[in-house]
Amino acid sequence: MRPYHQIQIIECGEPLVEIPLEQFAVESPHPYEKLGATYGEHSPYYLRQSVIERLLEGQNYLQLLRPGWQIQIFDAYRPVAVQQFMVDYSFATAVRDKGLTAADLSPNQRQEIWQAVYEIWAVPSLDAKTPPPHSTGAAVDITLVDDGGQIVDMGSPIDEMSVRSHPDYYSNSDQPAAQQYHAHRLLLQEVMSKAGFHRNPREWWHFSFGDQMWAWQHNQSNPTHPVTAIYGRLV
């Protein structure tokens, strides 16, 4: 259970619709499909209608601050089956990176690796009360592309299982490169918060609107005006 799972979901029934990809930069081929994940009826480039509208607002605001820059969409809607695929893939990758094999892991090693995996990945829960954020169609993983078409360096790649993924990791560094990474992360945060999104406290790239995490963060800042989540699990 995460803190945001305490938030009630009152599903609004808004449809999942295709993102107008011509309005954004896009990670292609899709990173998880490239690994073998199967999405089924919908492609990964779907979100709830209002989430897309707010994403477009963020894109427009970015254009005002940095003409020619674009939001690049890395991942959006994610069925629970894909969440499970990526959790398993990340665990296997972490085991391999440590020079170990899954069959030979000690209980402590296994627990340590799973803990690192779940620092980044939501549990692929099928419980309607605790959906993974991406399975609601309300969460999107993004970065920025500059006016030359180059991906902006944020100081760590999306999905990295380390403390570098924390949004403020570089905030207190006096190194010029680190200060630039932090400035880029602040810019991404600014354009998305302007459009009504909240950022995952552990991931500089993950933003959502209307799901449990978003409602929980809203309520932390506005305890006298609490809200519920309006988007629940779709598939």
Q: Do 144 and 187 form a contact (C-beta atoms < 8 A)? A: yes
**CA–CA dist 156, 115 (Å, integer):** 20
Sequence-distant (6+) residues with CB within 8 A of 13 are none
160 is catalytic: no
CATH number of 3-221: 3.30.1380.10
Residue 144 bridge partners (DSSP): 71
Model pLDDT, residue 40: 85
Q: Encode burial over 194-224: b for 16+ CB neighbours within 10 A, e otherwise.
A: bbbbbbbeebbbbbbbbbbbbbbbbbeeeee
- The pLDDT tens digits for 36-50 are 999 988 889 999 999
3-class SS of residue 155: coil
Among 134, 204, 199, smallest CA distance to 162 is for: 204
Model pLDDT, residue 170: 98
Question: Mean pLDDT, to the nearest integer, of 81-99?
Answer: 96
Sign of CA dihedral 36, 42, 47, 53: positive
Question: Mean pLDDT, to the nearest integer, of 61-72?
Answer: 98
Domain positions in the chain are: 3-221
- The pLDDT tens digits for 118-173 are 999 999 999 999 999 999 999 999 999 999 999 999 999 999 999 999 999 999 99
**CA–CA dist 20, 125 (Å, integer):** 29
Please give the C-alpha separations between residue 171 and each of 21, 159, 162, 179, in angstroms, as whole numbers.
32, 20, 16, 7
The total number of residues shown for the chain amounts to 235
Model pLDDT, residue 48: 98
Whether 111 has a pLDDT exceeding 90, the answer reads yes
- The pLDDT tens digits for 6-28 are 999 999 999 999 999 999 999 88
pTM above 0.75, yes or no: yes
Task: Work out the mean pLDDT of the chain and round it to a whole number.
Answer: 96
Beta strand pairing call for 70-75 and 25-26: parallel
